[in-house]
Amino acid sequence: MKKSSIVGIIIIAIAIGVIISTYADSSTYGSFTDAKESQTELHVVGTLNKSKELIYNPKVDANYFAFYLVDKQGKECKVVFSGAKPQDFERSEEVVLTGKMIGNEFSASKILMKCPSKYNKDKMEVQEVEHTAALNR
Amino acid sequence: MDIQFAGEHLLPGKLGQFFIILTFGSALISAISYYFATVKDTNDDSWKRIARLSAWVNTFAVVGIGASLFYIIYSHYFEYNYAWAHSSRSLPVYYIISSFWEGQEGSFWLWMFWQAVLTNVLIQRARTWETPVLTIIMLSQVFISSMLLGVEVLGLRIGSSPFILLRDAVEGPIFSRADYLNLIPDGNGLNPLLQNYWMVIHPPTLFLGFASMVVPFAYAVAGLWQKRYKEWVTAALPWALFAVMVLGTGIIMGSFWAYEALNFGGFWAWDPVENASIIPWLTLIAAVHVMIAYKNSGHSYFTATFLVLISFVLVLYASFLTRSGILGETSVHSFTDLGMFGHLLTYLLVFFVIAIGFLIARWKDLPITKKDEETYSREFWLFIGALVLTVSCIQVIATTSIPVFNAIFGTKIAPPANVFQHYHQWQVPFAIVISLVSGFSQYLKYKNTDPRKLYVKLVMIIIMAAMITSAFAYVADVYHNVMYVILTFAAVFSLCCNVPFLIDALKGKWKLAGASIAHIGFAFLLLGALVAAATSKVVSINTSGVGFGEEFDKSNNAKENIILYENEPVRMDQYTVTYKGDSTVGVNTYYKINYKTINQTTRKVIEEFDLYPNAQQNAKMQTIVASPDTRHYLLHDIYTHVSSVPLKTETAEHDDHTGHSADEGYDQPATYEVALGDTIRYREGIIVVKGINRNATVEKIPLGKNDVAIALTLQVIAKNKTYEVDPIFLLKAGNKFDFGKAVADAGLKFRFTNVLPDKNKLEVMVYQKPLAEKKWVVLKAIKFPFINFFWAGNILMMVGFLLSIFRRNKEIRVKPEEIKEIKLQSK
pLDDT digits (tens, 9 = 90+) for B7-38: 888 999 999 999 999 999 999 999 999 999 99
Q: Which residues pair with B582 in a beta bridge?
A: B591
Give the lowest-confidence range in A55-69, A74-88, B231-245, B557-571. Answer: B557-571
Tell me the shortest Cα–Cα distance from A86 to chain B, in angstroms.
Answer: 8
Q: Which residues pair with A47 in a beta bridge?
A: A70
CA distance B148 to B27: 13
CA torsion B526→B531→B533→B537, rounded to 10°?
-170
pLDDT digits (tens, 9 = 90+) for B84-119: 888 888 788 888 888 888 888 899 999 999 999 999
Q: What angle do CA B755, B756, B762 make, to 5 degrees?
A: 55
Nearest 5°: phi and psi at B410?
70, 20
Contact assessment for residue A10 and residue B387, using Cβ atoms and an 8 Å cutoff: no
Residue in chain B closest to A46 (alpha carbons) equals B329
Contact assessment for residue B158 and residue B146, using Cβ atoms and an 8 Å cutoff: yes
Under DSSP, the state recorded for B741 is E
Residues contacting B820, CB < 8 A, separation 6+ = none
Q: Is A94 on the interface with B (CB under 8 A)?
A: yes
Residues contacting B140, CB < 8 A, separation 6+ = B115, B214, B351
A43-to-A22, A23, B121, B420 alpha-carbon distances in Å: 16, 15, 50, 16
Q: Is B417 on the interface with A (CB under 8 A)?
A: yes
Contact assessment for residue B534 and residue B476, using Cβ atoms and an 8 Å cutoff: no
Question: What ipTM score was computed for the predicted complex, to two decimals?
Answer: 0.78
Could you count the other beta carbons within 10 Å of the beta carbon of residue B22? Answer: 19
Q: What is the pLDDT of residue B383?
A: 93
Tell me the shortest Cα–Cα distance from B542 to chain A, in angstroms.
Answer: 8
Q: Is A5 on the interface with B (CB under 8 A)?
A: no
CA distance B254 to B247: 11
Look at residues B27, B57, B12, B23 and name the one whose alpha carbon lies nearest to residue B163.
B12
Residue in chain B closest to A114 (alpha carbons) equals B329
Contact assessment for residue B243 and residue B354, using Cβ atoms and an 8 Å cutoff: no
Helix residue spans in A2-51 (DSSP H): 3-25, 32-38
Residues contacting B701, CB < 8 A, separation 6+ = B730, B732
Q: Which residues in chain A are contacts of B172 at CB distance < 8 A?
A: 124-125, 128
Q: Is B560 on the interface with A (CB under 8 A)?
A: yes
Q: What is the pLDDT of residue A137?
A: 30
Look at residues A132, A7, A84, A34 and name the one whose alpha carbon lies nearest to residue B560.
A84
H, E, C per residue of B187-225: CCCCCHHHCCHHHHHHHHHHHHHHHHCHHHHHHHHHHHH
CA distance B372 to B725: 101
CB contact under 8 A, A61 and B545: yes
Under DSSP, the state recorded for B697 is -
Is A128 a residue whose pLDDT tops 80?
no
- Please provide the distance, in angstroms rounded to a whole number, between the alpha carbons at the two ends of chain A: 88
Overall residue count recorded for chain B in this entry: 827
Q: What is the pLDDT of residue B801?
A: 93
CA distance B255 to B331: 16
Q: What is the mean pLDDT of each run of 10 residues along chain B (827 residues)?
A: 77 95 97 93 84 96 96 91 86 82 88 97 92 96 93 81 86 78 78 76 94 97 94 94 95 87 76 90 96 92 96 95 79 63 92 96 90 87 93 93 88 83 91 94 88 90 94 88 93 93 80 87 93 84 47 45 85 87 80 88 86 75 73 88 72 40 68 86 83 79 79 83 86 81 81 85 84 78 89 92 89 58 47
Under DSSP, the state recorded for B176 is G
Under DSSP, the state recorded for B728 is E
Look at residues B666, B823, B628, B808 and name the one whose alpha carbon lies nearest to residue B744.
B666
CB contact under 8 A, B372 and A2: yes
Overall residue count recorded for chain A in this entry: 137
Q: What is the pLDDT of residue B206?
A: 94
Q: Which residues pair with A42 in a beta bridge?
A: A99
Q: Which residues in chain B are contacts of A4 at CB distance < 8 A?
A: 299-300, 372-373, 380, 383
CB contact under 8 A, B402 and A7: no
CA distance A52 to A55: 9
Q: What angle do CA B503, B509, B512 make, to 5 degrees?
A: 95
Nearest 5°: phi and psi at B747?
70, 35
Look at residues A83, A19, A1, A13 and name the one whose alpha carbon lies nearest to residue B422.
A19
- Partner residue opposite B561 with nearest CB, options A43, A63, A107: A63
Question: What homologous superfamily does CATH list for A3-136?
Answer: Nucleic acid-binding proteins (2.40.50.140)
- Partner residue opposite A61 with nearest CB, options B329, B373, B546: B546
Q: Which residues in chain B are contacts of A42 at CB distance < 8 A?
A: 414, 417
- Partner residue opposite B643 with nearest CB, options A27, A84, A94: A84
CA distance B800 to B221: 27
Look at residues B133, B150, B257, B149 and name the one whose alpha carbon lies nearest to residue B201.
B257
The half-sphere exposure of B285 on its side-chain side, counting CA atoms within 13 A, is: 28
B657-to-B83, B746, B767 alpha-carbon distances in Å: 39, 18, 17
Residue in B399, B542, B614 to test binding to A, most A beta-carbons within 10 Å: B399
Q: Is A50 on the interface with B (CB under 8 A)?
A: no
Nearest 5°: phi and psi at A43?
-100, 135
Nearest 5°: phi and psi at B494?
-60, -40
User: What is the pTM (predicted TM-score) of this model?
Assistant: 0.82
CB contact under 8 A, B380 and A128: no
CA distance B678 to A45: 67
Q: What is the pLDDT of residue B368?
A: 87
CA distance B410 to B413: 9
Q: What is the pLDDT of residue B546?
A: 40
Q: Is B566 on the interface with A (CB under 8 A)?
A: no
Q: Is B638 helix (H, G, I), strand (E, B) or coil?
A: strand
CA distance A99 to B158: 42
CA distance B198 to B344: 28
Residues contacting B565, CB < 8 A, separation 6+ = B579, B774, B775, B776
Is A99 a residue whose pLDDT tops 90?
no
Q: What is the pLDDT of residue A57?
A: 82
Structural domain boundaries in chain A: 3-136
CB contact under 8 A, A11 and B183: no
Q: How far is CA A33 from the centre of its chain?
A: 16
Quick one: B690 exposed, middle or buried, by C-beta within 10 A (0-12, 13-18, 19+)?
middle
CB contact under 8 A, A132 and B383: no
Tell me the shortest Cα–Cα distance from A112 to chain B, in angstroms.
Answer: 7
CB contact under 8 A, A62 and B644: yes
Q: Is B24 on the interface with A (CB under 8 A)?
A: no
Residue in chain A closest to B371 (alpha carbons) equals A2
CB contact under 8 A, B394 and A18: yes
Under DSSP, the state recorded for B676 is T
